Structure 1
Amino acid sequence: MADFLNLEVIYEDNHLLVVNKPAGILVQGDITKSTTLLEISKAYIKEKYKKPGNVFLAIVHRLDKPVSGVVIFARNSKSAGRLSEAFRERKVEKEYIALCKGIFKVKKGTISESLLWVEKERKARVSQDDKSKNAITHYEVLEEFKNLSLVRLIPETGRKHQLRAHLSYIGHPILGDEKYGGGRIFKDRIFLHCKKMAVPHPVRKDIMEFEAKIPDFWSEFLKVEI
């Protein structure tokens, strides 16, 4: 598998592999049998370190297929357990940026709306149903273009499709996110990027911050550098 040659590695040691996930690729496999980020990353490790047999690499969090940005893999079972615990206990800080439709009247605020995952539709909906889960997203408008806003997003909770559903709910869906009202710009790519992630190292315990470069298609679409 030569795909690993294009893998953008942000950081690696004996415990972690941190990569910049391209938009349009799955982190983990599904029924489509498409090549995944996990497979590409395993091929990279196998080739670089000339490892015989199967390579251990564990998923501790995910990004949706059309989303780009920081993805952290664990390189051993102990690190996988500790990283998974850090994500569960909200010890991981995440910062996303998004291009959203429209100009925000309120430039900085918090969206606190519970979400219900609707499996039949494969999407999240704002709901007060007993089965819905609390979801909190902080946002700040960074820049405005013609009927588009560049927004920083800090999710306090980690619900499935949280950012996509919350922004759609307040009338500013993410550009290209057809599922949530953002229209279709590119196939399997939307303008949502996990730019930064700060996480406690699974062994040393110090806080490590990783940053991922914004995809080129953003600047190509806007005709300006971000």
Structure 2
Amino acid sequence: MTTLSHDDLVYKHEDFIVINKPNNISVNQEQGSDSASLLMLAQTVFGIEKLYLVHRLDKVTSGLLIFARSSSAAATFSELFASRSIEKYYVALSHSKPKKKQGLIVGDMERSRDGQWKLMPSKSNPAITQFFSTSFSPGIRFFILKPRTGKTHQLRVALKSISSPITGDSLYKGTTSDRTYLHAFAIRFNYRGENIELSCPPKMGEYFVNSRCSELLIEHASPWLLAWPTLPNTQK
């Protein structure tokens, strides 16, 4: 059973903490489940009476997640997220060759069937994702992703749309594996005048913990320094 431990604390600030969320734990308590939510577990494990959820990761996604320690801090983070002042970077693997090796994935997202979303050609309120990919091993691609919007399932849908569903992502027809290979790898923001830059490698998954992945994560340790693909004019 996947759970949370003290080793998952990445950064501690008087106003917030940042953890390395394990995959297969829901941020909120699932309807009809007796399992504790990640928020409840974090309060217990780290001995903090009250934490505030300021953003989310899908259950299947691991990686960096911020919890505020006060309502005031939570309000500050709400403003930062609303103004897109928090840079987030993810890594993913796919067993399918993408239609293009780098660039932009842009389109409106629409609900589909069985809990899925799909990317549409229209762009009235689009999801926007910048990405690079490189060879991980024969038949596997390594992606580093920078979402510029925060839509539900955005990265999972984005990679599916370029014919590279994420390995292990059964909802979007990814190759069967031991986990969904999507990890919130790095984050950068300014909190009340203090610059925060954090990165954290994944801890679980046979492909994520091998030496090739370690090499690629070291190469991309400061993803904000990459020459990211140009955004649409309205998003610059």
Range class of TM-score, shorter chain: 0.7 to 0.9
When normalised by structure 2's length, the TM-score is 0.81
Aligned residue for 2:133, secondary structure, equals strand
- Report the counterpart of residue 114 of structure 2 in structure 1: 121
Q: Which residue of 1 aligns with 2:52?
A: 58
Q: Distance in 2 between matches of 1:176 and 1:196?
A: 21
After TM superposition, list the pairs within 5 Å mapping 1:8-27 onto structure 2: 8-27=8-27
Alignment of 1:1-226 (within 5 A): 4-31=4-31, 32-46=33-47, 55-104=49-98, 106-118=100-112, 121-127=114-120, 133-186=125-178, 189-201=179-191, 204-219=192-207, 224-226=212-214
Distance 2:43 2:128 in 1: 34
Shift of 1:37: 1.7
Preserved contact between residue 7 and residue 41 of structure 1 (Cα < 8 Å): no
Q: Any unmatched runs of 5+ in structure 1?
A: none
How many aligned residue pairs are there? Answer: 211
* Alpha-carbon separation, structure 2, partners of 1:184 and 1:221: 18
Give the Cα separation in 2 of the matches to 1:125 and 1:154.
19
Unpaired segments ≥5 residues, structure 2: 215-236
Q: Secondary structure at the match of 1:216?
A: coil
Paired residue type of 1:38: L
Change (3 A) 1:137 1:218: farther
**Higher RCO (CA < 8 A, seq sep 6+):** 1
Indicate the SS of the match to 1:217: coil
Identity across aligned pairs (percent)? 30
Rate the CA distance shift 1:222–1:8 in 2: closer, same or farther, 3 A. closer
What is the CA-CA distance between 1:223 and the residue it aligns to?
7.2
Q: Verify the 8 A CA contact 1:117 1:160 in the aligned structure 2.
A: no
Q: Contact 2:30–2:37 (CA<8 Å) still a contact in 1? A: no
* Deviation at residue 5 of structure 1 after TM alignment: 3.7
CA RMSD of aligned residues (A): 2.2
- 8 Å Cα contact 1:94/1:198 also seen in 2: yes
